[in-house]
Structure 1
Amino acid sequence: MFAADRRKVLAGAGALAVTMVMPSFAATASTVVRTSAGRVRGTREGGLHVFRGLRYGQNTRERRFQAPLAPVPWSGTADATQFGPSCPQLGKQDPENEDCLFLNIWTPGLEPKAKRPVMLYIHGGAYSNGSVVDPLNYGDKLAARGDVVVVTVNHRLNALGYLYLARLDPRFADSGNVGQLDLILALKWVQQNIATFGGDPGNVLVFGQSGGGAKIATMMGMPAAAGLFHRAITMSGQQVTASGPMNASRRTAAYLGKLGVTETNLAPLLSLPTERLIDALSAEDPILGGGVYMGPVLDMKWLLRHPFWPDANPQGNGIPMMLGNTHDETRAFIDPHGPKLTGLNWDNLAQRMASDLRMDLLPEWIVAQYRAQYPDWSPERVFYAATTAGRSWPGQVIEAEARARAGAPTWVYQVDFASPVKPERGAPHTMDIPLSFGTLDASGSLTGTGSYAKAASDAMMDRFIAFARKGDPEVDASMPWPQYRLDQRATMIFDARSRVENDPRGWERELFARVPYIQPGS
């Protein structure tokens, strides 16, 4: 998802909670483990060993816009019973601090010989917002169901993680991608330490929703990340192209102008209050409009080519990959009760949906094509179908097809399970988070807790766990899930009754494939 879209989700009705109060957790006992930097104390909860707020990097306040460093070893035993702070952002989390390089672990046991698969989750929120302290991302149910080790990671976001200053000051040669370098440091921490938590450092799956998926797609082509993970799942999050350095420089100029900092003297950036740096994200984006976009940069140091252009990056083609989207992505961030849908009819449909398309096709022609193909559909249904197929879905199609052409092991899914608690939202962006974690009853979940939701969630968790365990999502021979190939385009449909369909929404895929897709922000 793009930064502007994510802000709409955070502001919209019924999507995700914006501010969270840190809960207390019911622990039956403490548990102590020695990491490479020192001893840490977690808790025992419901048969799991749980560690929250494990430090994987030094305080980034001391190293603004620079690559992260591994923790300084400590003496004694550090507390790991409460979540660490989230990265400061416009979509507020509580607490926030630039000292935010912390991860969390849920594990069934601490025996190194167990070598459990590791499932490391990267949160969404584009590259600007979000946090794994969201209860939707808690790993207890997934760890218990699959006998796996679940890890969730916070890292630097927005200007703190992706402001591109490398062309202006040699002190900041790594800027533009330090948020990605945080994640790479977390994966290195996992390689060094996860065996102590019962995990297998040789079997690490990374999965992430929205911006988390985009971060994974980007890391799959970063040489510094090579060998640090072994399977990948991107959930409604793609990165076909990264931000070009010239566009990134234009955004930097707009951001610095909002701050009142000159390009020839960046020293004030190191002492300005964090709040000032976050407030300046309201600077007008010179390419997209709206608040200034921040994301990974093709800097020719850490990122040497685009993730999926002109083809799938060969570095990632040996990694088994699952890609998915929800059926009604845009129902999450275009309010069905808002101004674009109120009074919607055939006369104003093309005009109202035009700004929400990312494909440069004539909106009136698109409406005519949908009406001819689906004569019984309402204007509202066409609106959401077209904006999903013409904005939120194309990146996933491009990535899956690029990997299919390369013969890379690839599986594709689509979430059709529609919200029973907010039916007007359908199967929206974020629906796959509670389904894949089993957090159906968490604050912000739209799944409900009924038998159909549980069936969809069980199917999704079991496939994710199988994929983590062996790099193939097959659970049993009675329901095979073939790899994605261009002759059939096999797709798992996650619903109350999950099933495989060949090329679902093929007509819409072909409709929007008539024109190039340009990744917003690149």
Structure 2
Amino acid sequence: MALGVLVETLQGKLEGVQEDSLQAFRGVPFARPPTGVLRFHAPEPPEPWVGVREASRFGRAAPQTKAGFDLFSGFDVGEQGEDCLYLNVYTPAADGARRPVMLWIHGGAYIMGSGSQAVYRFGALVRRGDVVVVSINYRLGALGFLHLADLGGASRNATGNAGLLDQVAALQWVHDNIGAFGGDPGKVTIFGESAGGMSVGTLLGTPAAQALFHRAVPQSGAAHSVLGRRGATKLASSMLEELGILPRQLDRLWSTPVEAILEAQQRCYTRAVGRGQRSFQPVIDGDVLPEPPLDAIRKGLARDVPVLVGATRDEWRLFGLMDPQSAKLDMAALVARIETRIPGADDSGTTRGHKIVEGYRRARGRARDDPPELFFAIETDRMFRIPAVRLAEAQSSNQRHTYAYLFTWPSVLMGGALRACHGVDVPFVFGAIGSKGADRFVGGGSEAEALQQRTMDAWLAFARNGDPNHPGLPTWAPYATERRATMFLGPKCELVDAPFEEERRIWEGIL
């Protein structure tokens, strides 16, 4: 590693590092530090600097509690602080060429993660695809998504979508500056997994983000993960109660220690998870998000953006590690859980939860009398696969280049019990097969390496052309409701029409 790679941005000069065959610029500010009076505010443009700013080290990650993924390596986020709005650029050369740009939005349930986690091996994509990769931080949890407008926060210019607006600000920085790093501001792909995929889906329905990106790849996340004003205000009220702050004392939030905010946030989050719900996430506030993102997408807001969307086959099995009771469910307990997650009943009094469980018992055949198996299947579909299907349906009605996938490679953890769980696709996208952490999670060998090449080449082809087809895969037809063509990416790569169709029909009118 050697310093000495200079680039001039609109804010000033940066000195990056040469690392083998790529150049890296880390810890680049894309907004003013959201501290002090700017806490809970929309991001403001970054301030210029005089002289040369060193860009060899990552900036701070957003404040967060300890991650729950001690099983896996590469998830450490490093130093944290409210001064966290930094991005990182990886390029073959800051030479003025116009390469495709891929901007990664990290996951972590909107409460944890960063753009500097080692699990994301950005250099592999840069080298294989001759692309520029950008990774970003954004505000998380209450600091990023606390909706105070209906509790008096509007007078303080607080926004419940600070974290989402951070992502928009990063995209604006890329639009304004990426040309100096060898990237094309007119060919920007946003991609992300889990909450990052949900962010990508939400950005497709965010008016302020339009024209700042040109392709979108939501992985294990779509456009459903938003709160309405009522739910967001209820969550904010719970936060205030946890902090001992009355609505008339709202100003105290700006001086509350971040540690106290994180502790209160964790209690709110834990309660929500216990109900099978999320807590802090983007808010349909009538301003940043005038309407549900999926509605905006259906109406054609992002009609010019090709989309590649999908999920893993057994997403929810990963979360079973943090829910030991899920392995002990009987049928009555299963129905009760699903009724909590999906309330409501028909005119005869039959609950939605009961109907969904019975529908999956019919659809899953041999698993019909296995409550834990049914629970994982229902939650996988409720949280990930069906939202991906809905996004594919919405976008394909406006954009021919809409593609769907299902990742089927099984994890090797716990003797394979996790199957194709949440996150299993990430090592393949980032070329991590063969590394210690990836081998422990997804295994290795020639078959895994071959899938890694096929996956990376599909993502890179999509970033370049808006089409994931390449010679290493069967012909990948666009998604349309008449056929619902879906590429299975796993030990066998094949295009499958309308997979798990019986299960999909169960959710009509529900999700």
TM-score w.r.t. length of structure 2: 0.88
CA contact (8 A) 2:339 2:353 kept: no
Query: Which secondary structure state, in structure 2, belongs to the residue aligned with residue 42 of structure 1?
Result: strand
Q: Which residue of 2 aligns with 1:396?
A: 388
Cα distance in 1 between the residues matched to 2:295 and 2:51: 49
Matches within 5 A, 1:468-507: 468-476=463-471, 479-507=474-502
1:95 and 2:79 correspond:
yes
Which shows bigger deviation, 491-500 or 181-190? Answer: 491-500
Cα distance in 1 between the residues matched to 2:455 and 2:343: 30
Deviations, residues 327-371 of structure 1 (Å, cap 9, x unaligned): 0000110129923214x56x5673576378558665555555445
CA contact (8 A) 1:165 1:173 kept: no
Deviations, residues 11-42 of structure 1 (Å, cap 9, x unaligned): xxxxxxxxxxxxxxxx1554221211111122
User: CA, structure 1 residues 188+448, in 2 after alignment: closer, same or farther (shift >3 Å)?
Assistant: same
Q: Which residue of 2 aligns with 1:460?
A: 455
From 433, 437, 447, the equivalent of 2:430 is 437
Q: Which residue of 2 aligns with 1:321?
A: 307
Query: Which secondary structure state, in structure 2, belongs to the residue aligned with residue 49 of structure 1?
Result: strand
Cα distance in 2 between the residues matched to 1:304 and 1:337: 36
Cα distance in 1 between the residues matched to 2:332 and 2:147: 40
Q: Which residue of 2 aligns with 1:65?
A: 40
From 165, 170, 177, the equivalent of 1:186 is 170
Matches within 5 A, 1:101-500: 101-112=85-96, 114-167=97-150, 168-240=152-224, 242-284=226-268, 293-309=279-295, 312-335=298-321, 338-342=324-328, 350-351=334-335, 354=338, 358=342, 366-377=356-367, 379=370, 380-422=372-414, 423-440=416-433, 441=435, 443=437, 446-476=441-471, 479-500=474-495
Q: Which residue of 1 aligns with 2:11?
A: 37
RCO comparison, higher one (Cα < 8 Å, 6+): 1
Query: Which secondary structure state, in structure 1, belongs to the residue aligned with residue 28 of structure 2?
Result: strand
Q: How many residues align?
A: 487
How far 1:477 sits from its partner (Å)?
Answer: 9.4
User: CA, structure 1 residues 264+289, in 2 after alignment: closer, same or farther (shift >3 Å)?
Assistant: farther
TM-score w.r.t. length of structure 1: 0.87
Cα distance in 2 between the residues matched to 1:438 and 1:414: 18
Deviations, residues 231-252 of structure 1 (Å, cap 9, x unaligned): 0000011223632112211111
Query: Which secondary structure state, in structure 1, belongs to the residue aligned with residue 496 of structure 2?
Result: strand
User: CA, structure 1 residues 292+124, in 2 after alignment: closer, same or farther (shift >3 Å)?
Assistant: closer
Unaligned stretches of 5+ in structure 1?
1-26, 518-522
Cα distance in 2 between the residues matched to 1:353 and 1:65: 34
How far 1:255 sits from its partner (Å)?
Answer: 0.6
The root-mean-square deviation of aligned C-alpha atoms, in Å, is 2.5
- Matched-pair identity in %: 34
How far 1:289 sits from its partner (Å)?
Answer: 5.8
CA contact (8 A) 1:107 1:143 kept: yes
Which shows bigger deviation, 379-388 or 252-261? Answer: 379-388
Letter paired with 1:71? P
How far 1:122 sits from its partner (Å)?
Answer: 0.2
Matches within 5 A, 1:19-34: 27-34=1-8
Query: Which secondary structure state, in structure 1, belongs to the residue aligned with residue 249 of structure 2?
Result: coil
Query: Which secondary structure state, in structure 1, belongs to the residue aligned with residue 409 of structure 2?
Result: coil
Letter paired with 1:450? G
Cα distance in 2 between the residues matched to 1:320 and 1:310: 16
How far 1:108 sits from its partner (Å)?
Answer: 0.7
Letter paired with 2:464? R
Cα distance in 2 between the residues matched to 1:82 and 1:213: 26
Cα distance in 2 between the residues matched to 1:271 and 1:478: 55
Deviations, residues 415-440 of structure 1 (Å, cap 9, x unaligned): 00111344111111111211111123
How far 1:408 sits from its partner (Å)?
Answer: 4.8
User: CA, structure 1 residues 144+175, in 2 after alignment: closer, same or farther (shift >3 Å)?
Assistant: same
Letter paired with 2:396? A
Letter paired with 1:428? C
User: CA, structure 1 residues 442+219, in 2 after alignment: closer, same or farther (shift >3 Å)?
Assistant: farther
Query: Which secondary structure state, in structure 2, belongs to the residue aligned with residue 84 of structure 1?
Result: coil
How far 1:169 sits from its partner (Å)?
Answer: 3.1
Cα distance in 1 between the residues matched to 2:353 and 2:225: 25
Unaligned stretches of 5+ in structure 2?
68-76, 345-350
Q: Which residue of 2 aligns with 1:19?
A: none
